[in-house]
Amino acid sequence: MQRTTTAVLVTVLLVAGSVGGVMALAPGAAPVGDTERQQSACDYQSLFDETIGSVVSVRTSSGQGSGFVYDAANATDTNATGDTYVVTNAHVVSGASEVEVEFDDGEFQSGSVVGRSAYADLAVVNVSDAPAGTTALSLADADPQRGERVAALGNPLGLEETITHGIVSGLNRTLPTQLGFEIPNVVQTDAPISPGNSGGPLVNCDGEVVGVNTAGIAQQGAENIGFAVSPSVVERVVPELVADGEFDYPFLGVRTTPVSPAIADANDLNRTAGLAVVSVLEDGPSADALQGATEIETVGDRSVPLGGDVILAIDGQQLRSGETLGTYLLTETQPGDTVDLTVLRDGEVRRVEVTVGERPGPMGA
């Protein structure tokens, strides 16, 4: 269960798979750092010229999206015959095994889908005969910062070679999907992202990929709210897609909700911290370690879990939201790992261990 502001996005998401300048210093001024300089000047014309050659259009029988050439030099190639890889969204390629890739020079090539992860909305396509001189974009070493200038590249509404710009508006968002699950650790931006942009890169002023565009909001009153899969998630998921054709998504098998004042009051808790365990999947990874709510009470227009554990931390990291838990599991663990959970149970703080499982495939994916 997520906060209300996140949950309302479920009905308004659009998935797009269907259709350096130099700044002069004032006399006597101290030099500025790289980050400050980047925020003060971003040459979007040069940025476009330097990056657009690595951006492609990805087409299937059911729609069209975008993608970008990815450097897979450090991944073990077991599924593909060529050495040019394109990263896009899983929802762009959908269930296709073969797609059509159009490069910036207008050349079309057949591409094979070597791996996809619906839960991360990422897919990798291999092209065995890419145009000469095709280069890969670099992935940023870390997630971007709020306020950082960015540009979204792709083919919105089929309009090729398009760039829009803005800033990073928020970090560590949880993005609901039409398949009923959520994507953690998503970057929010006000750079316009429209249908057809999905799978294209969100880049910083140095041309590094700081996100894979995945969705925008179409709702009256919502202006320029878009989302991109973060580089830390790309770095975690994509190499495994290249090497193995799949990604084993970490899974605890619990449904949680942040401890709100209403939940704290109903359960006689002395603090609003951690995640209340609403339910535990029978025979799931946490079945023998965690306890879910014993009943659900309606308070006003809200459902409030009664009883059950409250997860306060995972491996010593405090949990303030479901986003924190989802991001930690995805970026720091893998199935088979043992995590240490600090829980509040019957008024006492205790520690329990859970062996992380593999999340079952989503229904309808």
Q: For residue 222, what pLDDT is reported? A: 58
Give the model confidence (pLDDT) of 103-149 as tens digits.
998 999 999 999 999 999 999 999 988 888 889 999 999 999 999 99
Strands (DSSP E) found in 72-142: 84-88, 98-102, 108-117, 122-127
- State the residue for tokens 């950082």: 148
**Residue 89 tokens, joined:** 């969204």
H/E element holding 327? helix 322-332
Which residue did the predictor score with more confidence, 322 or 26? 322
Q: For residue 18, what pLDDT is reported? A: 40
Specify the length of the chain in residues.
365
Per-residue CA distances from 123 to 68, 87, 117, 260 (Å): 11, 6, 6, 37
Q: For residue 305, what pLDDT is reported? A: 93
DSSP of 162-197: EEEEEEEEEEEEEEE-TTS-EEEEEEEE-S---TT-
Mean pLDDT value of segment 217-225: 62
Name the least confident of 13-17, 137-141, 305-309.
13-17
- Is 53 within 8 Å of 23 (Cβ atoms)? no
Q: Does residue 6 surpass a pLDDT of 50? A: no
Burial class (CB in 10 A: 0-12, 13-18, 19+), 17: buried
Mean pLDDT value of segment 193-206: 95
Q: Does residue 5 surpass a pLDDT of 70? A: no
Q: Does residue 300 surpass a pLDDT of 80? A: no
Q: How much of the chain exceeds pLDDT 90, in percent?
A: 67
Q: Does residue 254 surpass a pLDDT of 60? A: yes
CA distance 84 to 80: 9
Give the model confidence (pLDDT) of 21-71 as tens digits.
333 333 444 444 454 544 557 999 999 999 999 999 999 998 899 999 998
Q: For residue 83, what pLDDT is reported? A: 75
Q: How confident is the model at residue 304 (pLDDT cuts 50, 70, 90)?
A: very high
Mean pLDDT score of the chain: 85
Per DSSP bridges, beta strands 209-217 and 201-204 are: antiparallel
Q: Report how far Cα 193 is from the mean position of its chain's Cα atoms.
A: 15
Mean pLDDT value of segment 70-83: 59
For residue 43, the SS3 value is coil
Mean pLDDT value of segment 245-274: 92
Q: How much of the chain exceeds pLDDT 70, in percent?
A: 84
Q: How confident is the model at residue 97 (pLDDT cuts 50, 70, 90)?
A: very high
Q: For residue 278, what pLDDT is reported? A: 95
- Specify which residues 251 forms β-bridges with: 357
Q: How confident is the model at residue 221 (pLDDT cuts 50, 70, 90)?
A: low
- Specify which residues 99 forms β-bridges with: 111
Q: How confident is the model at residue 298 (pLDDT cuts 50, 70, 90)?
A: confident
Mean pLDDT value of segment 295-300: 85
- Is 323 within 8 Å of 172 (Cβ atoms)? yes
CA distance 234 to 75: 13
Which residue did the predictor score with more confidence, 11 or 325? 325
CA-based torsion, 196, 198, 199, 201: positive or negative: positive
Q: Provide the whole-model pTM.
A: 0.82
Q: For residue 333, what pLDDT is reported? A: 96
Q: Does residue 335 surpass a pLDDT of 90? A: yes
CA distance 99 to 110: 6
**Residues acting as catalytic residues:** 91, 121, 198
Q: For residue 176, what pLDDT is reported? A: 82
Mean pLDDT value of segment 231-250: 95
